[in-house]
Amino acid sequence: MTPLFPLTPGGAFRRWVAFQVDQLIVGSLWLLAAGWAGVVYLSVSRWPRDPWNLAAVAGLLVALGVSLHASYWVVFVGGCGQTPGKMMLDLEVVRRDGGAVGYGRSAWRWVAMLLAALPLGLGFLGVLLTRQQRGLHDWVAGTRVVRSGRVSVEA
């Protein structure tokens, strides 16, 4: 399948800025949820605070953060190929042939993104060092991040 528009790589700096915007959005949502969880915890727990209850709440907040992060990336990339940060910077995640990513491939890409971040972010070096500017998560999931501006052909 040949794409209907040229697949121009998104660029490392543009991708990094989009990622930072997305992290700011997810982090803000998590802080809002964590703040409300803290208010609820302080209002319903007995004094003195039981450290086991506090540990359970902390574990729930970590689980909330991971599930929020996963949902954000999988739903946005799987549904429309773009997170809000990528939308702002004219980027899109597509399959290698230019087709839509879908939710399954998007979930796999998110898991691979976590693996790419584990060894001090070395899995992202491919974005800087390869011609197609694909990181480990892109190679594993068979995706590319491209500029989403489409060339319109007028008749």
pLDDT single digits (tens) 105-142: 999 999 999 999 998 999 999 999 988 899 999 999 99
- Classify residue 7: in a domain, yes or no: no
User: Residue 90's domain spans which residues?
Assistant: 12-147
CA–CA separation, 50 and 28 (whole Å) = 28
The domain total for the chain is 1
Of 24-33, 36-45, 75-84, 144-153, the one with minimum mean pLDDT is: 144-153
- Classify residue 91: in a domain, yes or no: yes
- Classify residue 18: in a domain, yes or no: yes
- Classify residue 64: in a domain, yes or no: yes
Determine the average pLDDT of the residues in 74-95.
Answer: 96
> At how many degrees (to 10) do helices 12-44 and 51-80 cross?
140
- Classify residue 68: in a domain, yes or no: yes
SS3 of 45, please?
coil
- Classify residue 109: in a domain, yes or no: yes
- CA proximity to 30, closest of 76, 66, 75: 66
The tokens for 87 are: 């939308």
pLDDT of 152 above 50: no
What percentage of the chain's residues is helix, strand, coil (to nearest 5)?
65, 5, 30
Residues in the chain: 155
- Classify residue 153: in a domain, yes or no: no
- Classify residue 3: in a domain, yes or no: no
| 98 in Cβ contact with 76 (< 8 Å) | no
Q: What is the pLDDT of residue 44?
A: 78
Number of neighbouring beta carbons within 10 Å of residue 139:
17
